[in-house]
Structure 1
Amino acid sequence: MNERAVRRRGPELEAAILDATWEELGAAGYMNLTMEAVADRARTGKQVLYRRWHNRAELVLAAVRSRVVSISDDVPDTGELRGDVLAVLGRMARRYHDIGPDVLHGLMAEVRDIGPEFFSAMADVMETILQRAAGRGEIPSGAAGRRITTLPVDLLRHEMLLTSGPVPESTLVEIVDDVFLPLVTCRAGRPR
């Protein structure tokens, strides 16, 4: 255990570790972040970290989630499909800006170290949005398969991986108006 270790347990210890992870990300960046450095900064032993998180990617994702409100906890409901999808993409773009490209690119490089819930959360958000749109009569129920359902967030993720700056609003509008909505409405009119 770290020489300067402090006796903490439960939520207090977890909060200290997640704060230390965030601070270490700021100081060293994702690629240089180590479990040892986080443990030292949190004043605990690295075995404590490994009991909660199997690897660096899981730890960093937990730190990000402790700082940024999950979109799945508050799915946008603007009253229309277009507005809902634009709101989700806008939140994703702001989160990207808040956590920074270094962290996103690092997590994506180690995506195999993260559980499938990393991607399924946004699929569930989009499914909720499409179900609401169907309930309002904007599209028929089941108008889009899983690939089309996740297309807007997948395209935005792709955009974020290719850039290091903010994603312009015009890109979000283009994804929704030129790609997603035509697909959903075209598929809605086609027999399955």
Structure 2
Amino acid sequence: MADDSTPQPGPTLARRRGVELEQAILRAALDELIECGFPGLTMDKVARRAGTNKNAIYRRWPNRAALGVAAYLQIADAQLRVPDTGDLRGDVLALLRRINRDLSSPGGDILRGLLSSIGDEPELLAQLQEQVGDSGAGRWLTLLGRAVARGEAAPEALHPRVATVALVLLRNEYVTRGIATVPDSVLVEIVDEVYLPLIRQCGVTTS
């Protein structure tokens, strides 16, 4: 039986194993997703691009959906850093602008393609939804927790639904308007006219 790193016709690479081979496969899968989207992703093309064989891929990922999600999560994980500008408005705008760039980038196209194509893979779909949805709440709660510590927000604001309002409104712009990217002026409106007033209202009591 061929070794994991026995290449199919394609790039000539040194024998690789373990993490090195896995990363080569994920890079190849990501390149394929950027070029062809998820509908065009095949194990054959990834194997050729990575300079390995399909057996090496199937040992790690049972199907192309699992491989596609793993490749996307590689780039998504690299974008998780929470901004720290020193004030709530700056942090919210910085994070919203970063997400907007990501959603309008090739990575955003990959994400949308995966979300629309893997409905019959509930576990993989849940991974993606966690990455772009519920796990996003963790970043927003971190950002908002800093604001609470600085006295810019009341502790009552530390609720996932409150913390992620700006993110929900940004996604709504993509869904309802069908645009390639959201103008920066809209991001500023979301922050100044909706998010910050909502945060300031939290914890306010009336006599």
Distance 1:19 1:169, change over 3 A: same
Greater relative CO, 1 or 2 (CA 8 Å, sep 6+): 1
Structure 2 CA distance for aligned equivalents of residues 88 and 117 of structure 1: 18
**1:102 pairs with 2:109:** yes
Between 24-33 and 133-142, the greater mean CA deviation after superposition: 24-33
Structure 2 CA distance for aligned equivalents of residues 106 and 59 of structure 1: 14
User: Which residue does 1:38 correspond to in 2?
Assistant: 46
Structure number with bigger Rg:
2
Distance 1:53 1:186, change over 3 A: farther
What is the TM-score when the length of structure 2 is the normalising length?
0.76
Q: Identity of paired residues, percent?
A: 43
Alignment: residue pair count: 190
Distance 1:157 1:89, change over 3 A: same
RMSD after superposition: 2.8
8 A contact 1:64–1:99 mirrored in 2: no
Runs (5+) with no aligned partner, structure 1: none
Structure 2 CA distance for aligned equivalents of residues 29 and 92 of structure 1: 20
User: Which residue does 1:163 correspond to in 2?
Assistant: 178
**Any residues of structure 2 matched to 1:75-154 within 5 Å, and which?**
75-109=82-116, 110=118, 112=122, 113-114=124-125, 115=127, 117-118=130-131, 119-154=133-168
What displacement does 1:148 show?
A: 1.7
What is the TM-score when the length of structure 1 is the normalising length?
0.81
